[in-house]
């Protein structure tokens, strides 16, 4: 039996972060966490790009476009959708999740879901560097691990094969 696991090495790899400006108080902290993680693991300044989009609903298109360039080993999507008094939360959170998954499947590049979906602003801040850590850091860790793992997988995987 052969066991394949991704590593958290990132030197020489390129990463993109797609971040939502909506709820930027929270998302800015997620971006700081993701960037700090990638830098701590050896990603060079020139190998990291951050693209800001209006809101979480726009993340999938930006992620798919970034991934399709073939420039990046992984794309990290960061946003915060906080439940309000309307059904808006359900539509935005669900479509962002589906679109981010589809971006990864369509391009064969890891596209990481780092979108917080919380009931309150306090819960979001707790997950953006507060008492529950920084989910931006966690998403960057997942990006490094998936980029490493995909290098180990067979290259003739068929549809969605990495470019």
Question: For each successive 10 residues of the chain (163 residues), what is the average pLDDT?
Answer: 89 96 97 97 96 97 98 98 86 95 97 97 96 97 96 73 53
* Residue 84: per-residue pLDDT: 80
Alpha helices (H) along 16-157: 24-40, 59-68, 88-107, 121-126, 135-152
Cut 0.95: pTM above it: no
Residue ranges per structural domain of the chain: 15-150
- Active centre residues (catalytic): 88
> What is the reported pLDDT for 9?
82
What pLDDT, on the 0 to 100 scale, is given for residue 88? Answer: 83
Check residue 154 and give its pLDDT: 87
Give 15-150's CATH code, choosing from 1.10.10.10, 3.10.105.10, 3.40.50.150, 3.40.50.960: 3.40.50.960
- Tell me the C-alpha distance between 73 and 84, whole Å: 35
Helix, strand, coil % in the chain, rounded to nearest 5: 45, 20, 30
Whole-number Å distance between alpha carbons of 2 and 143: 22
Kindly tell me the sign of the dihedral angle through the C-alpha atoms of 22, 28, 29, 31: positive
What pLDDT score was predicted for residue 162? 52
CA-nearest of 101, 107, 112, 111 to 162 is: 107
- Cβ neighbours around 84 below 10 Å, total: 9
Residues in Cβ contact with 135 at an 8 Å cutoff, skipping those fewer than 6 apart: 30, 33, 114, 116, 127, 128
What is the pLDDT at residue 86?
A: 79
Q: Is 64 helix (H, G, I), strand (E, B) or coil?
A: helix
């Amino acid at each position: 039996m052969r066991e394949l696991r991704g590593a958290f090495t990132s030197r020489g790899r390129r990463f993109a972060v797609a971040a939502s400006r909506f709820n930027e108080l929270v998302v800015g902290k997620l971006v700081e966490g993701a960037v700090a993680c990638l830098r701590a693991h050896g990603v060079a300044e020139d190998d990291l790009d951050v693209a800001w989009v209006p809101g979480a609903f726009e993340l999938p298109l930006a992620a798919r476009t970034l991934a399709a360039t073939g420039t990046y080993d992984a794309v990290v999507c960061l946003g915060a959708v906080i439940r309000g008094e309307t059904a808006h939360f359900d539509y935005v959170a669900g479509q962002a999740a589906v679109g981010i998954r589809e971006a990864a499947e369509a391009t064969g590049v890891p596209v990481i879901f780092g979108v917080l979906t919380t009931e309150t602003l306090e819960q979001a801040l707790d997950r953006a560097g507060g008492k529950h850590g920084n989910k931006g850091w966690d998403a960057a860790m997942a990006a490094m691990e998936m980029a490493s793992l995909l290098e180990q997988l067979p290259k003739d995987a068929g549809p969605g094969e990495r470019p």
